Amino acid sequence: MRQLPLFLIVYLLLLGCKTNQTQSISQVSVVPINTDQALTTIAFGSCNKANEPQPLWAEIIQQQPDLWVWLGDNIYGDTPDMELMQQEYQRQFYHKGYQKLLASTAVVGIWDDHDYGVNDGGKYFAQKAPSRDLMLEFLQVDPSRPVWQREGGYQSYTFGSDGQQVKIILLDTRYFRDTLMESSLEGQRYGANPQGDMLGEAQWAWLTEELNSSDAQFNIIGSSIQVIHDEHGFEKWANFPKSHQRLYDLIADSEAQGVVLLSGDRHIGEISRLKLPEMPYPLYDVTSSGLTHVYEEADEENRHRVSNLVASLNYGLIQIDWENHQVTYQIKGEDGAIYASETVVYPR
């Protein structure tokens, strides 16, 4: 038998390894999502480079969370090449620390710009549909879930039974978002797009129904970018003032219980608070970013901040005390560090 050239043997071996890895990403055993479970501990985070050290997974696992929530920039793909994007997802999926999390904790999540495919990207990204599919595959989203049958990556999960329910609402702030407007102010990257929209009408209608129909005692809204902080010059909901106010009005009008916002993106951690006149309790935005890198020189004003400004590697933690109807929001880091903590008693 004629021997194959060495370069062809190597190529076939590499091709086989790549094919097997691509197929096995859906075959690896992970903790299934059990919506019958009452949640007491939820961990979350964002801004994670797959090729950099990831020291926080052991810390997170030690908290024994019932659920992990990705808030975006779960990988840094930044490419219209979906093969390269898939390789980054695989690199992260098979990271040893993350594999240990998958073996112990259920995972849900949404993307931001770097795992969407383009920095600060919006609805005109040409590869947004196949990129969405790669995100859902990475998150191991069940093929029967409605998100697979519509555009965008937004979805929700309700955990627990009557009296101890938590609803996780994950917003897609990329797929339908209008164009950002450059700012004329020094030190500000973006300004206001007065007529621009963040979510698109289909997602707005969905979000309205999700909040209005919710019987959950706590409703957690995951937004990859910050909602309450409205002073910095980067990406934020305030860049789209109509959408910003529409979100506030929707939350207040829905009369949903215990609404809290979770966000990432900024490479800092902080807790912001806003009192809306129409709401019987304060609205919090808990920002956790990032898992592998932060903006160490961060120093910015935020009139709504009620915590320290965290410029160390961090993740977020939510602990629910069902008996007293209260929730503790924390931003934590290495060696058990607690950088910020806020306990809220919500009206019943």
The conformation of residue 54, written as its DSSP 8-state character, comes to -
pLDDT at 14: 42
pLDDT at 81: 98
- 90 with 22: CB under 8 angstroms? yes
Tokens encoding 140: 């191991």
DSSP codes joined into one string, 247-266: HHHHHHHHT-SSEEEEE--S
pLDDT at 12: 39
Comparing CA positions, the residue from 272, 165, 282 lying closest to residue 219 is 165
pLDDT at 119: 97
Residue owning tokens 């929209």: 197
Q: How far apart are CA 180 and CA 237, in angstroms?
A: 11
Residues of the chain falling short of pLDDT 70: 1-28
* Pairing label, strands 181-182, 190-191: antiparallel
User: In degrees to the nearest 10, what's the CA dihedral of 259, 134, 175, 75?
Assistant: 70
Strand partners, 260: 220
Enumerate the H helices of the chain as residue ranges: 6-24, 56-62, 82-93, 96-102, 113-116, 128-138, 201-212, 241-254
pLDDT at 286: 98
pLDDT at 28: 64
Strand partners, 327: 320, 344
Enumerate the H helices of 42-174 as residue ranges: 56-62, 82-93, 96-102, 113-116, 128-138
Give the domains, in start order, of the chain with CATH numbers. Answer: 33-345 (3.60.21.70)
Q: Is 270 helix (H, G, I), strand (E, B) or coil?
A: strand
Enumerate the H helices of 139-232 as residue ranges: 201-212
Q: What is the residue type of 334? A: E
Peptide bond preceding 121 in cis form (omega within 30 of 0): no
pLDDT at 25: 57
Per-residue model confidence as pLDDT tens digits over 146-181: 999 999 999 999 999 999 999 999 999 999 999 999
